[in-house]
């Protein structure tokens, strides 16, 4: 069950079994909202394989700014708290695929029963906070081209596919800029034959070149994950 969730790779069989008995598997599609601001976070979700979700802060003008992208390295909802607390941001599926779901009360019971599970999620919470910190700094100082290249590179890395399901409007909203800025930036990337755009998606044709164009924020976060989640 956990073959495609790297978050669980450091847990032993007994701890995996402790979680598995409370989990259900499901296929969720692009755009599915896991929870909205103010909703009770009564379940946690674990993306498997190519599945992808995002935390989005909803602004007064309706734009949704992405603060963290979550793939099979992580989880969404009720990770540190006791659950049943209101969500601050929207959590939304960004790339269709399989997910595992567990009730927050059962996750909390497993953490109380197993020090290894408790330690894993405490460390993961630190990693998630590091990702949010890096996102804030990135949005403040890095130019749009680098940030867009970073986002697309992160999506390719996490999903394992070069076909990214996202509209230009969504990408502009996630990056906190107007659609015209994103449109011009994507035109430049198309001219360089790095991407192709199509209705409802972006095809990355040269992921290595795009990765070199991006800022180093993805790498910093990846290194922190590797350090904090190693040898649990």
> pLDDT digit string (tens) for 18-69?
999 999 999 999 999 999 999 989 899 999 989 999 999 988 888 888 999 9
CB 4 within 8 A of CB 52: no
List, for residues 162-205, the tens digit of each pLDDT value: 999 898 988 998 888 989 999 999 999 999 999 999 888 999 99
| Number of other CB atoms surrounding residue 24 within 10 Å | 10
Domain ranges of the chain: 6-139, 143-214
CATH superfamily of 6-139: Jelly Rolls (2.60.120.10)
pTM of the predicted protein model: 0.90
Angle (nearest 5°) at CA 190 between 188 and 193: 115
pLDDT band for position 133 (cuts 50, 70, 90): very high
The Cα 143–Cα 125 span in angstroms is 28
CATH of 143-214, one of 1.10.10.10, 1.10.3720.10, 3.40.30.10, 3.90.1150.10: 1.10.10.10
CB 214 within 8 A of CB 220: no
């Amino acid at each position: 069950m956990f073959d495609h969730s790297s978050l669980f790779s450091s847990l032993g069989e007994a701890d995996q079994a402790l979680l598995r008995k409370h989990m259900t598997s499901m296929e969720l599609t692009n755009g599915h909202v896991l929870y909205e601001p103010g909703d009770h976070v009564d379940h946690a979700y674990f993306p498997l394989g190519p599945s992808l979700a995002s935390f989005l802060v909803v602004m007064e003008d309706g734009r949704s700014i992405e603060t963290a992208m979550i793939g099979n390295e992580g989880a969404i909802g009720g990770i540190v708290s006791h659950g049943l607390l209101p969500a601050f941001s929207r959590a939304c599926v960004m790339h269709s695929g399989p997910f595992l779901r567990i009730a927050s009360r059962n996750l909390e019971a497993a953490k109380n029963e197993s020090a290894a599970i408790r330690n894993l999620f405490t460390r993961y919470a630190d990693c998630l906070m590091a990702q949010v910190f890096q996102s804030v700094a990135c949005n403040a100082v890095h130019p749009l081209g680098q940030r867009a290249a970073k986002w697309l590179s992160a999506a390719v890395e996490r999903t394992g596919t070069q076909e990214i399901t996202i509209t230009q409007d969504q990408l502009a909203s996630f990056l906190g800029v107007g659609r015209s800025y994103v449109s011009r930036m994507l035109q430049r990337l198309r001219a360089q034959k790095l991407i192709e755009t199509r209705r409802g998606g972006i095809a990355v044709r040269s992921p290595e070149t795009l990765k070199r164009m991006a800022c180093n924020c993805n790498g910093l976060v990846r290194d922190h994950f590797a350090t904090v989640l190693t040898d649990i």
